Structure 1
Amino acid sequence: HRQLFNGPMSDIEEALKRITAHSGVMGVAVLDDAGKLARYSLPQELAEKYGEQIFVLQSIARTAVRDVDPQNDLTYFRIDTKRFEILVAPFWGEVRYGVTGATREKGYTLFVLQRKPGQT
């Protein structure tokens, strides 16, 4: 897996390790605002396969929420399948660039793939 940040272990990396340690969790992945893997503990092929679809779903879900209420935003959703649960937490923030102070929205999407009880 790739590190999200260089240098000493960040609070985010520690949180991801704690999530991964939970019973039934197969792994986690973080997507950047372009839908590319920024960090993952799943096998790369699996992280990419799920990541591509989750990125599309979260984009559609966020648009739907904001179309109904422009002051609202998507914070979390869960996908429940026969074998797995996929927990998805998108998060966004304003990033300020250079001396001009220009800003743009920057986002990441965290997803957790976990086995349902009784599944192997």
Structure 2
Amino acid sequence: MSAIEETLQRIERASNVTGFVILDNAGNVLRYRTDMGEENARLLATCFKPLLERSLSAVRDLDPTDTLNFLRVRMRELEVMAAPGPGFVIVVTQRWWPTDWPVGKV
């Protein structure tokens, strides 16, 4: 089993993970969690890819020597995380609850 397969299985085993999508740099869906469904995978790619591109651009504009390694967006009950790589982006969605947040702890 390849390192990529092992990493994807580790991500899928997390109890709060609801899906993942792997995109190429053009935003095309290369792979997704099967129970997520192809339509939801494409919707996530369509919605999140422009945000990631703008975030990458903003970081470069602030400091041309810097790069964005990870982006996390937290909503009411869903968290979307993206990690850009060379030629691909992996986007993971997971459920979270306010009780998961360490209040008063930094």
Q: Normalization by structure 1: what TM-score? A: 0.75
Structure in which a larger fraction of residues adopt strand: 1
Gaps of 5+ in 1: 1-8, 93-106
The number of residues matched between the two structures is 96
Largest Rg, 1 or 2: 1
Distance in 1, matches of 2:58 and 2:28, equals 22
Runs (4+) off by over 3 Å: none
Structure in which a larger fraction of residues adopt helix: 2
The one-character-per-residue Cα deviations of 1:13-42 (angstroms, maximum 9, x if unpaired) are: 210111011011111111001100011002
Equivalence for 1:84: 78
Indicate the RMSD between aligned Cα atoms, in angstroms. 1.3
Deviation at 1:117, TM superposition (A): 3.0
Contact 1:31 1:39 in 2 (8 A): yes
Equivalence for 1:117: 97
Equivalence for 2:88: 108
Q: What percentage of aligned pairs have identical amino acids?
A: 36
Distance in 2, matches of 1:86 and 1:50, equals 9
**Is 1:24–2:16 an aligned residue pair?**
yes
